[in-house]
Amino acid sequence: MAKRKTKNRTTRGARAERTTDVARLRDKILTASLRHVAFDGWTAKAMAAGAKDAGAGATGLVRAFPGGPKDAARHFGALTDRRMTQALGRQLRRTPLRTHERVAAAVRARLRILAPHREAVRRLLAFLALPFNATLAAKLLWRSADAVWRAAGDTSTDFNYYTKRSLLAGVYGSTLLFWLADESGDFAATDAFLERRIADVMKIFSVRARLKSVGDGLAMARALSEKFGQFVPPGLWRRFGQGFRPRRSA
């Protein structure tokens, strides 16, 4: 039994080491490929040139990205999300922020990471705009929105999980497009645009919270009417309820 456990631990260790090696190889090839992507797009040609620069060759490229440019695009998104999470973590250790400030800071951190590869990002959006990449584009956008919320400390698992990520996907997507066309110093215009979009999202959550409060109040009124209705004069609850209905025009 002891030998079997030792063998299992050895096997798991070897598997984890191989996974780590592949992850490092992907990072290395992708980083080297980005300057070629800026000219050749997300193509096999750009990936091959990057693999050559990284000293990995064709064999290393197939090992790192067996799915070709699509795999490279996925890893680019994952690598950016990972670095964004690390950058935000360092910032939060220095300065505590409220939730919406964390979200905005995470998006800014992601854009700073992408800034040296702006043309590669532009080429990526063109690549994802192709009809056969529509599913991949949606997945990458959703994963980025999820990574931002998780980095900001969100742990929701209910309906809010989907609401938050759907709204942020729209915010991040529009901000990314604005950023690509922004020529202002230090992307100040993009920062202002992001602040406005985040403010719009916070208004939506505020309205939802008020509507929920109204709904809870009406539910309580119904519960009270059921419990104490026998002590209330006839017709009073009906007239009370009419206050929440739209009046008919004369």
Q: Tell how many helices (H) and how many strands (E) occur in the chain.
A: 10, 0
CB 79 within 8 A of CB 53: no
User: pLDDT averaged over consecutive 10-residue blocks of the chain (250 residues)?
Assistant: 58 63 94 96 97 95 96 97 96 92 96 97 96 95 95 88 91 96 95 93 67 49 50 48 45
Burial zone of 134 (CB within 10 Å; 0-12 exposed, 13-18 middle, 19+ buried)? exposed
Please report, in angstroms and rounded to a whole number, the separation of the first and last CA atoms in the chain.
87
pLDDT at site 156: 85
pLDDT at site 2: 57
Specify the long-range contacts of residues 143-147, CB closer than 8 Å, at least 24 apart.
Answer: 143/77, 143/78, 143/81, 144/77, 144/80, 144/81, 144/110, 144/169, 144/172, 145/169, 145/172, 147/81, 147/84, 147/85, 147/106
pLDDT at site 76: 98
pLDDT at site 204: 75
pTM of the model: 0.76
pLDDT at site 63: 95
